Every structure is written in C-alpha cells, then in structure tokens.
Amino acid sequence: MQHLPPKKLLAVAIVLSLLGFGAYTLFPAQPPMEPVRILFEGKAGNVLFDHQIHAENYGLDCASCHHNLEYGDDTFSCLACHEKDSDDPFMLSYMDALHDQCIQCHEDEQAGPVDCAACHNR
C-alpha cells in the first residue's frame, strides 16, 4: 500500500473510473472478480476472505491491496514476495503482510474485524 489513507485511495479510484480508467483498462488480462473467496488455512484457525465482495461491494481498487501493481509488477500473489519464513528485515513475512494490510484498513475505515477471533473463525 502506498501511504494514502483508504478514503483517499477510494476517491482516486472514483475519479479514475469517471475518467474511464478502471482497473479493467489498466489490467485487462485479469478476470477482475476472481477469486471469489479465499480460505486461508493455518494454525490459528482458518480465515475466510471474501475477495469479490471486498473488490466490488466495498469499492476498493485492486492496487489498494495488490500494491505492487503501483510499480508495474503485475503478480497477484502476495506470497511471491512476502515469503512465509522471511527473516529479511526489509520484507514483511506473509503473515505480517496480510495482518498489517487487513487490520490497518479495517481500523482506518472503522469497518471489518480487528479481533483475532473475528477473523480466525472458520
């Protein structure tokens, strides 16, 4: 994520889409609403992430989460860069990357779960 607050990102996304620059036109090769849901399985309890609802109903731009799109890298897997057992101090591990991003936005938006059990409930 860039350091724009999500509300600003949303405003930027709206302006861009009014101008006709949707994520669709920027990244036409990707079917935009896939995957529909992602089940993260792990020791702390599984987490169900409603990917399509986040992208569609909450009006979030792809790059607000897939932040690497901003610098022209078009992989959609966080794992490609944020490795599970990363000990690189300059690169968040997979768990930390997801925790930081999910929880930060929920706090900023005052919407969505921030407690362990509210996410790890599957």
Contacting positions for ligand HEC (CB under 6 A): 1, 6, 23, 30, 32, 34-35, 38, 40-44, 47, 49-51, 53-55, 58, 60, 62, 64-68, 73, 75-82, 92, 95, 97-103, 105-106, 109, 111-116, 119-120
State in angstroms the smallest separation of the CB of 119 from ligand HEC.
3
State in angstroms the smallest separation of the CB of 116 from ligand HEC.
3
Angle at 57 between CA 12 and CA 103, to 5 degrees: 75
Q: Which residue has the tokens 């768990």?
A: 95
Binding residues for heme c: 51, 54, 62, 65-67, 78, 81-82, 102, 105-106, 116, 119-120
State in angstroms the smallest separation of the CB of 107 from ligand HEC.
10
DSSP 107: H
State in angstroms the smallest separation of the CB of 16 from ligand HEC.
13
CA torsion, ordered 42, 102, 60, 91, to nearest 10 deg: -90
Binding residues: 51, 54, 62, 65-67, 78, 81-82, 102, 105-106, 116, 119-120
The CA distances from residue 21 to 13, 18, 76, 84, in Å, are: 9, 7, 20, 34
Task: State how far the Cα of 52 lies from the Cα of 26, in Å rounded to an integer.
Answer: 18
Task: State how far the Cα of 102 lies from the Cα of 115, in Å rounded to an integer.
Answer: 11
Cβ-closest position to ligand HEC: 42
